[in-house]
Structure 1
């Protein structure tokens, strides 16, 4: 099972997990950038121009935890986030309502089976793309309504 992507950011403080992800996907992902803390991830995002197919984000980093981590990363990047957590309650919340926080997929710590990770990432990217389409449609609807109001106000 392959998942060819151009550019991925892995934010993970455990070297073994980063190495495992690298080994699993080094032949499929053209570029994999790594950060060990949320603030290091912000620096990487800024330095690279924020052009990631997705961000793999550990939610238990030395400098940030849980949804606070997501908020910090989402403030800097519109790339879809796939969150990794060992917190069962948080994982369940994100699996149910994650998109409202900018999380489009969840990988539970310890379930590093390649086909599962690929399925989560593919689903996350598809959900994110659909979300982007909905946002564009909302903007178009707002512009159309403003245009109609303008026509009515000016009698044209």
Structure 2
């Protein structure tokens, strides 16, 4: 795994370097926001994981996350923050982070989070915009494991389609959230259930994490068709594409 750690505290970087090396990972470090964006921009396809400190000189973590997402909508990002504020954490998720870890953190905890996110971030090849669902479905490796007629999802290639149009730029957590809901159409999942199913570890009841990811997921779905993620007020969310006929 090739990791870019964006962290202005060099003692933290040096400590994590030892743990990354022990895992056999190739770690690189940036110490301010401008350096981080420049380094990522030089070879965006080479990075498997980014850890991003919230408090950085020149460009803060929110700005860096936004800039990275312009370049790569799918590279996994774990935000590191010393702020124990729900609003900061949710804002970080809305700005494109897939996960967050609050400082001070245990290196072992961060390693576990990286591994959990990486397991969900193995992305197969994507078809181009001019190709259709029927074109890609002819390939053996691109058979859909969820197909409702209106919605198709392939877990191996991590692609999802609505009415024949690809839902683009899904982050690892957004894809897993969509898959979890779509596997049981019209079943209502509480926020707590989604935290347990989509995130591998205890979030201590921080259910706003789910809301932040649902918001971003819905925005991407609406670019290609009708909304298929429904809110069940006071309970949670469900997948329902019964009214998703192409207009």
Whether TM-score is above 0.5 comes out as yes
Query: Does 1 or 2 have the higher relative contact order (CA < 8 Å, sep 6+)?
Result: 1
Residue equivalent to 2:104: 110
TM-superposition CA deviations, 1:3-33 (whole Å, max 9, x none)? xxx2110111110011011011113243211
What's the CA shift for 1:127?
A: 5.0
Q: Distance in 2 between matches of 1:118 and 1:66?
A: 20
* Structure-2 change in CA distance of 1:42 and 1:68 (3 Å): closer
- In terms of mean alpha carbon deviation, does 117-126 or 102-111 score higher? 117-126
Structure 2 equivalent of residue 18 of structure 1: 13
- Per the alignment, residue 54 of structure 2 pairs with 59
> TM-score scaled by structure 1?
0.70
Contact kept in structure 2, 1:58 and 1:85, CA below 8 Å: yes
Compared CA separation, residues 139 and 100, structure 1 to 2 (3 A): farther
**For residues 97 and 36 of structure 1, do their structure 2 counterparts lie closer, same or farther at Cα, with a shift above 3 Å needed?**
closer
Structure-2 separation of matches of 1:31 and 1:88: 30
Cα offset, 1:96, TM superposition: 5.6
CA contact (8 A) 1:45 1:77 kept: no
Question: CA 1:117 to 1:140, structure 2 compared with 1: closer, same or farther past 3 Å?
Answer: farther
Q: Tell me which protein shows more helix as a share of its residues.
A: 1
Q: Secondary structure at the match of 2:57?
A: coil
| Inter-partner Cα distance in structure 2 for 1:33 and 1:95 | 24
Gaps of 5+ in 2: 127-152, 167-224, 226-245
The number of equivalent residue pairs is 138
Alignment of 1:142-153 (within 5 A): 142=165
Q: Which runs of 5+ in 1 are unaligned?
A: 1-5, 150-156
Distance 1:102 1:24, change over 3 A: same
Q: CA deviation at 1:72?
A: 1.9
- Aligned partner of 1:84 in structure 2 is 80
Stretch moving more, 37-46 or 78-87 = 37-46
Match of 1:123 among 102, 116, 119: 116
RMSD over equivalenced CA pairs, Å: 3.3
Contact 1:10 1:57 (C-alpha < 8 Å) held by counterparts: yes
